[in-house]
Amino acid sequence: QKEVEQNSGPLSVPEGAIASLNCTYSDRGSQSFFWYRQYSGKSPELIMFIYSNGDKEDGRFTAQLNKASQYVSLLIRDSQPSDSATYLCAVRGMKGGSYIPTFGRGTSLIVHP
């Protein structure tokens, strides 16, 4: 079982719709969770992070964390074509005395006009 799993997609949504991206993780001791956006040929860009169960909103983005079910999701409201990218989920947990991030393989999102 992979430590951090994401559906590779592509997830295709129309402009203006809500895009829902999901991520599951296997380490129950994970403590912090991050979403990154990566455009083709570019480096990952931090969108937001969440530590506690529940929702965290930042502009058009909402991260949702459910530690009991071991999943974290990212909702993108009013999706725009410029949101088309690969979204990486990262989970950070304690390993060897430090907090180590493990990344999922990413979900490709396509927002079509």
Partner 1 sequence: KAGVTQTPRYLIKTRGQQVTLSCSPISGHRSVSWYQQTPGQGLQFLFEYFSETQRNKGNFPGRFSGRQFSNSRSEMNVSTLELGDSALYLCASSPSQGRGNEQYFGPGTRLTVT
Query: Is 98 a residue that touches partner 1 (CB under 8 A)?
Result: yes
Query: Is 95 a residue that touches partner 1 (CB under 8 A)?
Result: yes
d(CA 39, CA 99): 26
Sole window of 11-19, 36-44, 54-62, 66-74 interacting with partner 1 (rule: CB under 8 A)? 36-44
End-to-end CA distance of the chain: 37
Query: Is 42 a residue that touches partner 1 (CB under 8 A)?
Result: yes
Sole window of 21-29, 46-54, 56-64, 67-75 interacting with partner 1 (rule: CB under 8 A)? 46-54
Nearest 10 degrees: Cα torsion 23, 29, 35, 41: -90
Sequence-ordered list of residues with C-beta below 8 angstroms from that of 12, at least 6 positions apart, any chain: 110, 111, 112
Phi, psi angles (nearest 5°) of residue 65:
-125, 130
Nearest 10 degrees: Cα torsion 95, 96, 99, 105: -50
Q: Of 20, 27, 49, 60, which lies in the binding site for partner 1, with binding defined by CB under 8 A?
A: 49
Query: Is 77 a residue that touches partner 1 (CB under 8 A)?
Result: no
Question: Footprint of partner 1 on residues 4-33 (CB under 8 A)?
Answer: 31-32
Interface residues with partner 1 (CB under 8 A) are 31-32, 34, 36, 42-46, 49, 51, 88, 92, 95-106
